[in-house]
Homo-oligomer: A and B are copies of this chain.
Amino acid sequence: MKRILNTETIKHLGEKVKVCGWVNTRRDHGGIVFIDLRDRSGILQTVCSPDLVESVKEEYVLEIEGIVQKRPVKMVKKDLATGEVELKAENVKVLAKVSSLPFDFLSKELSLKLPTLLDYRPLTIRNPEIKNIFKVGEEIVNSFRKTLQCLDFTEFQSPNIVPAVAEGGAEIFRIDYYNYNAYLAQSPQLYKQIMLGAFERVFTITHVYRAEPSVTTRHLSEYTSLDAEMAFIDSWHDLMDTCEIIVRNMFADLSGFGIAVPEICKGIPRLKMREAQRIIFERTGRDNRKESDLEPEDEQEICQWSKEKYGSELIFITHYPTKKRPFYTFADPEDPNYTLSFDLLCRGLEIVTGGQRINDYEKLVKNIEKWGNKADDFSFYLQAFKYGLPPEGGFAFGLERIVKQVLGLRNIREATPFPRDMERVDRRLFLAQKKKPAKKKKK
């Protein structure tokens, strides 16, 4: 007999069927045992005689054959897809046993204890609310891809092993690469730009790596970047327009998940960073008007302002200072101390960063040297420009940050099944490798 899913039983009333799944709960009622079976589609109540399920405990994996029958009227559960039926078990086969569970992983308060949540990830991932987080993540990626495919972008595989530091800074992981040095990519930036020469519009969904020597609620050492780059732009506003299309589609595609997605007004506001700092100063008295970036509390404040003023929980902050952005960022012709770059903030957190890039070969070579690098180290990349590249720009969405913000998670580690940070790679490193932990930087 072919297995059917739990939720398919409602179409087989009175018939004999086979279902499979995990024991969600077991309730003994005198001569009857109720086993709620959980599979990928949902929960099904089964009614078993005690001898069929003698040793069966929670999380046992079972295959049950039986007859689908109507539940007694007062036992109907309206909020359950299979709430009007139950399975009268005739045969129960144990597919896998469990000795004992460390805690009640189905409890709703589970997410309160982050280390437990992650130490026991292979178990806690089975909690339906937690499982849902990763379905949301999957949908966001699918939505990003679908929008860009509609806009005639080509997807490519960007390499993660790279020869040199692209984005600057010490926050890079070194790899023993045969007899050589190589590094984990901080971003697919240079490869996106190279690919433009053939495809004009490209995107890649890839993992990127940041050796952040700090533990915050919004950084991961390995995260998923949804990266796009487009050539023949008329202006850098084309980039923000494209971001906006992506975000709107994303939120629309999440409508089936019953999430309170962030509000957006018609046209996400675009505000210069210096202007944002002035507004924050006026609202809070906090004077960060000479800082070269927004602080986390600034990002929260300006999102609050945007929500109040425009009804948008998202806002583009533009014109970050040239010295704070990577060498390839296009300077504003009207004031070269600032760049044609932007961040998209959502509910107080940056979820996208992007901007126009320098596409002139000579300028780019000069900037590489100005930023303290050797042009020769970038000779492979520079070919893209030496042999002609149009005006272009791009952006990157941080997947786990979007998941965190749309679901209101407290920590970005909840937004990915297997978070990596300076303390954890699956297990806590200090416990697994019995070495001294590295010093944390304050951040």
Interface residues, chain A, CB within 8 Å of chain B? 3, 20, 22, 39-40, 59-61, 95-99, 101, 120-123, 125-126, 130-131, 134-135, 137-138, 141-142, 152, 154-163, 173-182, 184, 191, 194-195, 197-201, 206-207, 209, 211, 213, 221-222, 224, 232, 234, 359-361, 377, 379-381, 383-391, 399, 416-418, 420, 422, 425-427, 429, 432-433, 435-438
Contact = CB atoms under 8 A, between A and B. Distances in A.
B163 A213 contact: no
Given A40-B152, A126-B387, A161-B184, 12 more contacts: A20-B232, A20-B390, A95-B232, A96-B389, A122-B380, A125-B194, A134-B198, A134-B199, A137-B157, A159-B418, A177-B429, A180-B429
Contact of A383 (B120, B174, B383): B120
Count of chain copies:
2
Contacts of A96: 359-361, 385, 388-390
A383 B20 contact: no
A123 B387 CA distance: 7
Contacts of A390: 20, 61, 95-96
A180 B380 contact: no
A222 B159 contact: yes
Nearest to A439: B179
A302 to B, nearest CB: 30
B157 A383 contact: no
B388 A22 contact: yes
Nearest to A425: B163
A387 B163 contact: no
B159 A420 contact: yes
Contact of A388 (B59, B181, B383, B389): B59
